[in-house]
Amino acid sequence: MSIAFGGIVAFLFRGLNLVIALSTVVLTSHQLSQNEYGTFVLGLTVVGVVTAMTGGITAATAYQITNQRRAAGHALGSSGAFGGALGVVAVVAGLAGASVLTGEAGRVSIAVGASAAAVIINSVLAGVFLGRDSMLKYNVALVLPPLLALAVIALSFVAFDHRSPEAALAAYAAGQWGAFLVLAVLVRGEISGELGLSGSLVRTAVRFALLAGVSSGISYLNYRADLFVVRHFEGTDGVATYSLAVYLAESVWQVSGSLALVTYPRVGALPRHDAAELTTRVMRHTVVLLSVICVLLFAVAGIVADILFAKYDGMAGALRFLLPGVLLYGLAQSYSGFYTYQRGQPWVAAIVAGSGLLIDIALAFVLVPRMGVNGAALASSIAYGTAILGALAVFLRAEGIGPGRVFRFGRADIDDYRVLIGRLRAATGR
């Protein structure tokens, strides 16, 4: 499958996920006050950190199936045991938070813990789909949880007139657990034989998942940690405004994520040199497509803000500051995929993300007091660019690849788009 065509197919699902996320943002930002929406965002940020870190469990499960040739039932059983234990910890933490914390934090704690537990369990099932190269089911695993969460939030707001951060987060948790029931049925078709539980495999899964999870968690914090700096200097109103800018900027990564996603099983199975070549090929497509999208989004940022988020003043400016860094950091998904699925070294991506996080926080404390939410956006953009350019330099040198292989299009890349256009013509001509 050509990268362009495969990326378009994956983007159809991610595009649906983007629509669902945008609908959730618009619904909650309009139905809640600006202060309440800021609280809701902070709760989702905690869940988001867990979501990012459980990407390590997804990666560990998929790695065992694709790279280590483990039976899907054994990978699911071993990762599931670890994921189930983490889910229990998340629920207990939520209950403890409700007892210890005060104010809104205490009221939303149980819902946040329940959401985190569901996210952890669902990530194990997603790893089986990814490892088995069942991309349709994998994409369903990405789309279904937020879709059901949106449906339950809308039901809570409209049908029951429950409009509060705690009600919204409780509805979010209910949607995540509803998705688990469906995914549990779907995963049965991927398992031949019974579930297995191996002590050595559990230890391997735990070690790999922790390394990959730390990497993903740090990456998430790399573009979320400054929300807490904004909260300190600008209050929850500033959090609400900045979070919307971050959300729109992050949506660009649905494209780069789609391109990287379609190659993950192949990167894990190919010899190292071929996997590196495929990774640089994906990066070239990423640079071209994200450049076009970022330029367009930069131009229409003001219009989007006026139409959808009129009461969140300053969102468009913050979005424009974020876009240059977003363009460069879009390469991180392919980079991370190479070291995670091919080399089995997720800690490499953790170093890159950690470097960006340190730069981001340091700059945020300097720039936010002077520039408000624009300072947070500028800090993130600089951190993104610095981290990924340094990482690319190391990758290219280690794999013996010249910089031109990343940024210069060749005949094979052009052929990708010719194949794509041909398939689209054939499909529309039917």
**Conformation bin of residue 69: beta by default, left when phi > 0, alpha when psi is -120 to 50:** left
Q: Which of 39, 377, 26, 32 is nearest to 231 (CA)?
A: 39
Specify the pTM: 0.62
Q: Which of 57, 357, 334 is nearest to 226 (CA)?
A: 357
Asked if residues 42 and 166 have their Cβ atoms less than 8 Å apart, the reply is: no
| Predicted pLDDT of residue 49 | 73
| Predicted pLDDT of residue 416 | 58
Alpha-carbon torsion (148, 152, 157, 162), positive or negative: negative
Cα separation, 263 vs 275, whole angstroms: 9
pLDDT along the chain (430 residues), means of 10: 51 70 84 82 79 70 71 73 83 87 79 88 84 79 89 88 86 92 85 62 65 65 76 84 85 71 67 81 81 89 86 88 89 79 73 85 92 91 89 86 70 57 50
| Predicted pLDDT of residue 251 | 79
Asked if residues 7 and 135 have their Cβ atoms less than 8 Å apart, the reply is: no
Which amino acid would we find at residue 48? G
| Predicted pLDDT of residue 319 | 92
**For the chain, what are the domain ranges?**
1-30+223-430, 32-219
Residue 90's CB is within 10 A of a number of other CB atoms, namely 23
E-strand stretches of 233-356: none
Cα separation, 64 vs 128, whole angstroms: 9
| Predicted pLDDT of residue 423 | 47
